[in-house]
Structure 1
Amino acid sequence: MHYRMLRVLAVLLFVTSAVSIASPIASACEVPAPVKSIDPPGFYDDAAGYARAVQPMRGFIAKLNKAAETGDWSCAVDLLHGWASADALMGPIAGYQGYYERSWAGTDFALVILRMPDSVKAANASKFAVINPWLERIAIATRDANAINHLHNNLVYWAGLNLVAIGTVTNQPQLIDSGLIRAREGIRDIGPNGALEREVKRGDRALHYHTFALLPLVFTAELVQRRNIDLYQENDHAIARLANLVIEAVRDPSSFAKITPIKQDLFPWTFQDELAWVEPYYARTRDARLPALIAPRRPFSEWRLGGNVTAVWGVPLSNRP
């Protein structure tokens, strides 16, 4: 297992480097060739094959997120319109990993649009007449993906965020409602001690997957606030219990031993960009423990969440220790 994960890390670093090299600012508005189908081998099954297969899509997302971060909204619209016109990512998927990748990609696209000024969207109404139906097709495919729905774990919660984010962008309440069903499944799964039983079963990756599961739950809770839905209070403030479990584990990894005696093995990004949920969570709760965790890690950048999360969701930190 140790050598396999080193191999995974090495190829993912290669993908990151390749994306950076392939995305110079000078060609930021050149639309990459659309990826018709996203169908990589499983992340844990074939590390090298996975990295090769996802690189073109990740390169596109890197360009899109960079355009959003720099306020180059004309470029962002052109990128989305180019792929929407080709019905990108909607080709057949033979395996299972592609369903996860498409769900994450669609979430990113929607969150980029949600940070876009209304004036930009109004000025590009004809392009959004192509973009929005494409996003809806991605959401419907995510909603109907048995490869996700049967899992009842963090990937279902991510699918919920996909549906809520795209439903918010396209003003489709039925998609939001389908997303809420999935988010609420995750909230119901949070136990009295803050743990998710299905993620505890991940053995030495249990802590990683608790962190990864918290991301979509927090961002879904934030998005539906505008509909006057308070997911934070559901199941006796369950999201706060899960957040507390993760916060304490970041501060003291040994604290997770009360959940499982298995020594935890974290990815380098587990306690870095996959802690991006702390930005909206701190903005809402002002948890006094968080500034010390947030400050040395800013900016948080998560490719599934529109890129620079700190720029969109971050607030000034308290000086309290």
Structure 2
Amino acid sequence: MLRPLLRSLFLGACTLPSLAQATCPDAPTAIRDIEANSFYTDAHHSLIDKALEKQYHDNIAPLEDFLRQVAAMADQRLEKQDLDAGRCALAWLDSWAAGGAMQGRMINGRGDTQAQYERKWMLAGLSVAYLKVRDLATPDQARRIAPWMQDIADQSLALFDSPKHKRNNHYYWVGLAVMGTAVATDSKPHLDKARSVFDKALGDVDDDGTLPMEMDRAGMALHYHNFALAPLVVMAELARLRGEDWYARRDGRLQKLLARVEGGIADPAWFQQRTGVKQKLPSDAAQCWVVLLGKPAPGKSKNCAYNHFGGSVRLLAAGPLKRD
């Protein structure tokens, strides 16, 4: 089990100076096995056990820190035209690809599948970060990184082949991981798979703009509606890079979900009335998808950075996903 001491050592080793003035630090050793546990205690998955939550964060910290560092380097390349930072991000991705990162054992606590969930969130963020720097990749780097990401995408998607795994927001995040991989590695098979996930998600949206499985989250219903919508918006934006309008799919059904979530964030009363429970609002960072639609960043964040979106959403919107 990865403990807080290891986390502190990892953070110290991975502090990233300006790469214009320093060589690229060595990537941390590839983490093959993922250990993670759920921290909800009720049937609605809405109540959190603080001790289990701490255990969860301690375990996944090195993974999250790797993603944060890679995303920061990719963003530095975009914001400061720092080619060294971009090449360093690629060196780190290449190191983990060569080391078979996240392709070992998935160690789950409490009989859940949290480790697999962490892997797909990691891939979602890393694939989008890769999109920001892939034009700098050497042929050898691209040959190692692409199949590594594609294999993890396939493993993540395969989890939901079992009927015992609900195709709720987790499935939509797998869709983003597969879509990010498809676009960043130019994989048509993965684009087709991502499109299938997206259409399944649209089919889940009721006429009132809600998702039944997320409505069952009691006081977290609004929070998880936003969390389910976020990857779908990013997927639709990535689809534009392939000349496809996914907002128009299923007669524009994504707009129903989008309107319901935005309305709920502005005034949670509707969700509270429907669930009978006071609602937890999504964090500012988790709302950063709005920047991709040309709307102001929520809160006071300049870059609107979110790990699972591959770093700065502002730079993503102004760079690879810039609208004409």
TM-score range, shorter chain: 0.7 to 0.9
Counterparts of 2:289 and 2:7, CA distance in 1: 22
2:63 is aligned with 1:48: no
1:174 to 189, 192, 205: 189
CA contact (8 A) 1:19 1:62 kept: no
How does the TM-score come out when normalised to structure 2? 0.81
CA drift of 1:97 comes to 0.7
Counterparts of 2:264 and 2:162, CA distance in 1: 28
Residues 258, 191 of structure 1: alpha-carbon distance in 2 compared, 3 angstrom cutoff = farther
2:271 is aligned with 1:242: no
Question: Corresponding residue for 1:278?
Answer: 290
2:315 is aligned with 1:311: yes
CA drift of 1:165 comes to 1.1
Counterparts of 1:148 and 1:165, CA distance in 2: 23
Counterparts of 1:196 and 1:163, CA distance in 2: 22
Counterparts of 2:248 and 2:182, CA distance in 1: 22
Within 5 Å, give how 1:89-238 maps onto structure 2: 89-95=102-108, 96-116=113-133, 118=135, 120-121=136-137, 124-146=138-160, 150-238=165-253
Gaps of 5+ in 2: 18-22, 42-51, 78-84, 320-324
Residues 179, 117 of structure 1: alpha-carbon distance in 2 compared, 3 angstrom cutoff = closer
SS of match in other structure, 2:151: helix
Question: Corresponding residue for 1:84?
Answer: 97
Counterparts of 1:152 and 1:212, CA distance in 2: 14
> How many residues are aligned here?
289
Which one-letter code corresponds to 1:86 in the other structure? Answer: G
Higher relative contact order (CA 8 A, sep 6+): 2
CA contact (8 A) 1:191 1:238 kept: no
How does the TM-score come out when normalised to structure 1? 0.82
Gaps of 5+ in 1: 1-13, 283-289, 316-321
CA contact (8 A) 1:15 1:55 kept: no
CA drift of 1:257 comes to 3.3
Which one is further off, 133-142 or 251-260? 251-260
Which one is further off, 206-215 or 47-56? 47-56
Counterparts of 1:15 and 1:189, CA distance in 2: 41
CA contact (8 A) 2:106 2:115 kept: yes
2:14 to 23, 28, 34: 23
Question: Corresponding residue for 1:11?
Answer: none
Residues 179, 18 of structure 1: alpha-carbon distance in 2 compared, 3 angstrom cutoff = farther
Counterparts of 1:58 and 1:19, CA distance in 2: 11
Residues 38, 147 of structure 1: alpha-carbon distance in 2 compared, 3 angstrom cutoff = farther
CA contact (8 A) 1:154 1:209 kept: yes
Counterparts of 1:297 and 1:250, CA distance in 2: 17
Residues 297, 240 of structure 1: alpha-carbon distance in 2 compared, 3 angstrom cutoff = farther
Counterparts of 1:205 and 1:16, CA distance in 2: 29
2:45 is aligned with 1:33: no
Counterparts of 2:306 and 2:27, CA distance in 1: 21
CA drift of 1:73 comes to 0.8
CA contact (8 A) 1:302 1:308 kept: yes
The RMSD of aligned alpha carbons is: 2.6
Residues 135, 117 of structure 1: alpha-carbon distance in 2 compared, 3 angstrom cutoff = closer
CA contact (8 A) 1:100 1:148 kept: no
Per-residue CA deviations over 1:171-227 (Å, capped at 9, x if unaligned) read 221111111111111111111211111100011100000000011100111111233
Which one-letter code corresponds to 1:114 in the other structure? Answer: L
Residues 92, 212 of structure 1: alpha-carbon distance in 2 compared, 3 angstrom cutoff = same
CA contact (8 A) 1:214 1:242 kept: yes
Residues 56, 176 of structure 1: alpha-carbon distance in 2 compared, 3 angstrom cutoff = same
